[in-house]
Each structure stands twice: as structure tokens, then as C-alpha cells.
Amino acid sequence: MNEKNKKAILSIIFLIIVSVLLLVGCSPAFSDSAANSECQTSGQAVSTQDTEQSGNEEKTTASTTEATDTAFGELPREVDDIEALLEQMTVQEKVGQLFIIRPDSLDSSQTPEQVNDSSATGVTELSAAMTDMLKNYPVGGIAMFGKNIVDEEQLITFIASLQNTSCIPLLIAVDEEGGSVARLANHAAFDLPKYESAASVGATGKQSEALSMGNTIGSYLNRYGFNMDFAPVADVNTNPDNTVIGNRAFSSSGKIAAEMVNAMAQGLKEQQIIPVFKHFPGHGDTAEDSHSGLAVNYKTKAEMENCEWLPYESLTAADCVMVGHIATPNITGDFTPATMSSEIVNTILRNRLGFDGVVITDSLEMRAITNEYDAGEAAIKALEAGCDILLGPENFKEAFEAVVNAVESGTISEERIDESVYRILSLKQRYGLLT
């Protein structure tokens, strides 16, 4: 056989082999489960279980027992799952994860004034219109207030319906500190353990009492479907003129407050409830109430390190921190609220204190913010400062669209948004919400 014929035969064999390989498929194997997902086909992101490859690898489902036994500083699953989910998400879906809102914000018939009015009638069930709103504005979480709660059955049903509608599991949060701020324990329809105050628990000097408090509150929150508590109050009550913190704080001693808040937080975590330490950099030595105007703490950095910041020294990514609308002019040199100060959020909280978990703003509908900023501006400034979650903007749709437009215009990079969404999804995964 001559050389020319040999080459021709080899070419034919090569073509046959390539054809066979294309028929059986030799490209990298990707799971097609995401394509079959109802959420994915409707333009929504899916949970991490829909991004895993099929095959012999065993899928791990995080149960309450498993998550309790797992060190909270470690993720129970591969972090690559978060990257895979992030890659699937649109800008709108990513931006949605940055918001925790009142359920009333899903009711487009309500004005922002009605939404943020605690005395107004609140939504107590999920309507068809609210379902559509949640699909179009896929938020990361819902914060329940007293006006959204009727009784145990209603609350369980409402929370379950919200979770069933959301493609990525929601953070369901509430202010349940124990004492004067307890949306459930102080509700007439609920027969739950009550605490006089955090200060009364702190006065015992027993960390075991604070741990028990966290376990007790966490137990009933978990039963109703909550997974996040805007507690413990990590402020140190050092100013007798303070009208907003007072006995909500465990102590006037930074050391005792630190011991108590960490014990309470541990109790919450043992019940699969995410604790939110508040209000950084410290609301205990202010004379103002940020609900009605900007609060100011005039302490120096050295003074706050030795007192207000002690409760935040040993936090992990299993914890969250709520930053308050508090100015610290002797630290930052101006009256910028901490929620909008990169020096407070990044330089001090993240770099100096080493916190790499989720940072949540205090409610953005408070007058400390709305007196100076519109909803969109406040949201953008908080993200630029380093906050991850935007809580309760005055006008949710306006804030959402402002952030989307900022990303699409390059005012805020998508990489910056990804950084926060990664933290948020990792937190959800750590507590077994992404399965």
C-alpha cells in the first residue's frame, strides 16, 4: 500500500473516531437539573442542590443535628457550590439577596408610609400579587413585625408560604431580644417564656443564664420557621441619658456585656437561629435615638476598643453584625452614619476586629437616614461602605432599582455585589438553608 493510500485510510479512521465521540458525548459533564428547575426556567436562581453534578458523589443534606455538630466556623459543604450558584444568578437576583424587607413591601397597593407605619394594618398572608412581586424582586430575606403576626397557626403558615415561593431560601428575621423588645413573647396571642430584660439576666453574672435565654428564644423561633434573630443587643449601657438602649443591654461593663452576648448568641446558634450582634460601633453611650435622628457617640477609638468593641472581638462568619446609624466624629472626623462609613465597616469592623461575616444595616427607614438620603442613595452608600444586607429601606422598589442601575452603569462593580452575595449565601449554607 502506497503512502498516499495510508494517509487516506488514517484520515477516514480519525473521522470515524471523532464522530463516535461526538455521538456519545465527551465534553465536560454538567448537571442538567438546573435546566429542569421550575425556578430556573422562570428566570430565578436555584438552590445549590440543583448545581451539583450527578454521579457517584453522595449529596450531603444539612440537617439540624448535622449543623449543630459542625463547627460554626466551618462550612458543612463545599464552598464551590456557592460559586456555582453565583455564576447562575442574574444581576437582579444578586441584588435581591442584598435586601431584607418587611413583608408589607411585597404589597404594591401599600405606600412606603403605610409599609413603615407600625400602627398601620400589616399583611398577614401571602397574596397572589405578593407572590408575583417576590418573583420579580427576589429578596434575600423578610423581617416580621408585630403587625404581621396574628397567632401561631397564621405565623407558621405565612412563613412557610414565603419560603415555598422563594427559589433561594429566605432569611426570616424578627426582633426577639427578650424584655421590652420581643415581637412574639410580648404578643397577646402567644404563651411564651418572658424575660424582664437583658440587664436582669446580665445582673446574675452567670453566662449560663444568657446561654439558656438564647436557647429558649431560639427554640420557639425555630418552631415557627424563623432562622435569624436581631439579637443579642451587644451595646454597653454607659450613658444614663440613653433613651433607646437602657436595660436592653446586658451590662454597663464591656467585659460582662461581651461574656453575656456571646453566651446568648451561642444559645441561639444551638437552635439553628442566626444571631445578629447590634448596634456597632456602639449605641450605649449615645443620647439620641436613631429612629428619630442621627445618634452620636463622641468616644475616641481607644475608649471604644476598651468598652464598646469588646463584644465584637471573637465573632466568626457564623455571626452577623448590625451596624447602627451612629456617627463617631472623634474616630472618623465627621458625622457620617456608621452604616455609610467605610472606616467603621471596613477599616475597624473587618480589618481591625477581623470580622468576615455578614454585615447588616440597621433599618434604612429610620429618620437618621431618611432625613438626609433618599432610598436609592442610602442603599448605594451603605454598599459602598462595605455593608452586605440592606435592611428595610424606606422605599424598597426604589432602592432595589437604584442598586441594579448602579451595577449596570458601573457605579458599583458586579464584583463588589458578588462579594456580599457570596457572604450571604455562605451564611445560608452554613445554617442548612441551602440543601
Instruction: Give the Cα separation of 426 and 282 in Å (integer).
Output: 27
- Which residue type, as a one-letter code, is found at position 129? A
Are 156 and 177 in contact by the 8 Å Cβ rule? The answer is: no
Are 153 and 159 in contact by the 8 Å Cβ rule? The answer is: no
Which residues form the catalytic set? Answer: 291, 362
Grid cell digits, residue 340: 455609610
Q: What are phi and psi of 10, to 5 degrees?
A: -60, -35
Cis peptide leading into residue 232 (ω within 30°): yes
- Non-local CB neighbours of 372 within 8 Å, separated by 6+ positions: 294
- Non-local CB neighbours of 138 within 8 Å, separated by 6+ positions: 44, 45, 92, 93, 96, 97, 166, 167, 168
Instruction: Give the Cα separation of 169 and 163 in Å (integer).
Output: 6
Terminal Cα distance for the chain, rounded: 63
Residues in the chain: 435
Grid cell digits, residue 355: 470580622
Instruction: Give the Cα separation of 2 and 4 in Å (integer).
Output: 6
Are 383 and 390 in contact by the 8 Å Cβ rule? The answer is: yes
